[in-house]
Amino acid sequence: MSPTYLDSEFLLTEKVSYYLHEPKRGDVVVFKPPVSEDEYIKRIIALPGDTVSIINGKFYINGTLLKESYLGPDVYASGSTYLEEGTQKTIPEGNYLMVGDNREHSSDSRSWGPVTKGVIAGRAWIIYWPPKKAGVVKPVAY
């Protein structure tokens, strides 16, 4: 999830809120992807029923450019097996599109498709290591 979170940082996940409400766009979540037994940490960018496309390296949700202030302006999101550049997909009910912030080197939903809420272990909540970066994970607003 570089540059937002680095390999040397440790986070706590909060596991209660998704029993009370659905995951939100922009949430950083820990989940088990369909391609690995390991847990991944990625950002939810598309919700059930959303249409998503990649045009000129940028995500469009329901036809609107996704403004990602947490990324630099030169970040390019290439298409992949599931979501190819210039195509549009509709996210099925109960599914979420997960994408890493390190777009050039991220194994994410662009390759293996959306994931169900059932595989989400929790939402990134608190950074506790290193101490100088400790604090609550800040939500993003789109």
**CATH number of the domain within which 44 lies:** 2.10.109.10
Kind and range of the H or E element at 129? Answer: strand 120-129
Q: Which residues is 40 bridged to in the sheet?
A: 31
Q: What span, in angstroms and rounded, lies between the C-alpha atoms of 142 and 133?
A: 24
The predicted-structure confidence for 88-101, as pLDDT tens digits, reads as follows: 999 999 999 999 99
49: phi > 0 → left, psi -120 to 50 → alpha, else beta; which? left
pLDDT score, position 68: 92
The residue-averaged pLDDT of 31-49 equals 94
pLDDT mean across residues, the chain: 92
Indicate the pLDDT class of residue 61, thresholds 50, 70 and 90. Answer: very high
Q: What span, in angstroms and rounded, lies between the C-alpha atoms of 103 and 93?
A: 25
**Cis peptide before 48, with omega less than 30 degrees from 0?**
no
Quote the domain boundaries for residue 14: 10-136
Indicate the pLDDT class of residue 1, thresholds 50, 70 and 90. Answer: low
Cβ-proximal residues to 89 (8 Å cutoff; 6+ apart), any chain: 51, 52, 53, 82, 83
**Does 5 map to a domain?**
no
**Does 129 map to a domain?**
yes
Indicate the DSSP class of residue 133.
Answer: G
Q: Is the pLDDT of residue 55 over 80?
A: yes
**Does 3 map to a domain?**
no
**Does 51 map to a domain?**
yes
**Cis peptide before 3, with omega less than 30 degrees from 0?**
yes
Q: What is the pTM of this model?
A: 0.91
Q: Is the pLDDT of residue 4 over 90?
A: no
Q: Is the pLDDT of residue 23 over 80?
A: yes
Number of domains in the chain: 1
**Does 77 map to a domain?**
yes
**Does 42 map to a domain?**
yes
**Does 93 map to a domain?**
yes
Q: What span, in angstroms and rounded, lies between the C-alpha atoms of 106 and 21?
A: 28
